[in-house]
Amino acid sequence: MHSSGVLAPVGCLVLGSMTMVNWWFIMFSDHWYGDLLRAISKDWFNLGRNTDSLLQPAAGLSFMFFGVGMFLYPVDADKSAMGWLLGGGAVFFLFVAVLGMFPFRLPGPMYPEWQLERRHRRAQEAARANWEHEAGSIVPRGRHAAPPPAKTATDAGDQYTRYAGDAGGEDPLKSSDSLPMRARFPRDEVGCVVFLGLGEFFFP
């Protein structure tokens, strides 16, 4: 294989690998690099609600399949079953990346905002469990939880009220699979406004 024929597969592999690494940081990391990538994706590289959840990983996998295929089969790839598999996988993920430009709804765990909220909720629960272990007591939770007692020496750092939830006994970080605010359709908010406007018109 000539040097000119090596550049294309190596370039595809490097680009695909970098894309997948960046996608992992966006989805599953609280590192400063992940925060930077999420900000860049939101402000500069936002091609729709499914950019980070579908378009980016599919594009990265497509580049990697193309790179491996061109590296292993620089010629006569159509004469090998593996060549057909790699080429078909590359085309398939490229098609999925194109679908990622359409704003259809995906499951909540596929969005970086949902993953970020889950990490924050787990960190809060771990901190609450650690405080309960150190304090030797269990913080009441739920709708029917008793109101927190007055601050004492054992609650000097406001640990009780910090981990007991809000005034209604509910955890401020919900564990539902609902979509984050950024990933919702604008038409949902428009429908609410129209409904409220009709209500005020018929029932002033």
How is the chain split into domains, by residue range? 3-104, 110-178
Taking only the tens place, the pLDDT of each residue in 116-167 is 999 999 999 999 988 888 887 655 555 555 555 554 444 444 544 444 444 4
Residue 95 has pLDDT above 70, yes or no: yes
Per-residue model confidence (pLDDT) at position 63: 96
Average pLDDT over residues 15-34: 95
Q: How many CB atoms lie within 10 A of CB 157?
A: 9
pLDDT value for 200: 52
Quote the Cα angle for 156-158-163, to 5°: 140
pLDDT band at 203 (very low <50, low <70, confident <90, very high): low
How many CB atoms lie under 10 A from the CB of residue 73? 18
Predicted pLDDT at 136? 74
Under a CB-based contact definition with an 8 Å cutoff, are residues 171 and 141 in contact? Answer: yes
Mean per-residue pLDDT of the chain? 76
More confident residue, 80 or 66: 66
User: Which band of pLDDT confidence, cut at 50, 70 and 90, is reported for residue 94?
Assistant: very high
pLDDT at 77: 75
CA of residue 151 relative to chain centroid, distance: 38
All residues at 6 or more sequence positions from 14 whose CB lies less than 8 Å from its CB, including other chains:
none
Estimate to the nearest angstrom the gap between the alpha carbon of 188 and the chain centroid.
21
The predicted pLDDT at position 152 comes to 43
pLDDT value of position 97: 95
pLDDT surpassing 70 at residue 86: yes
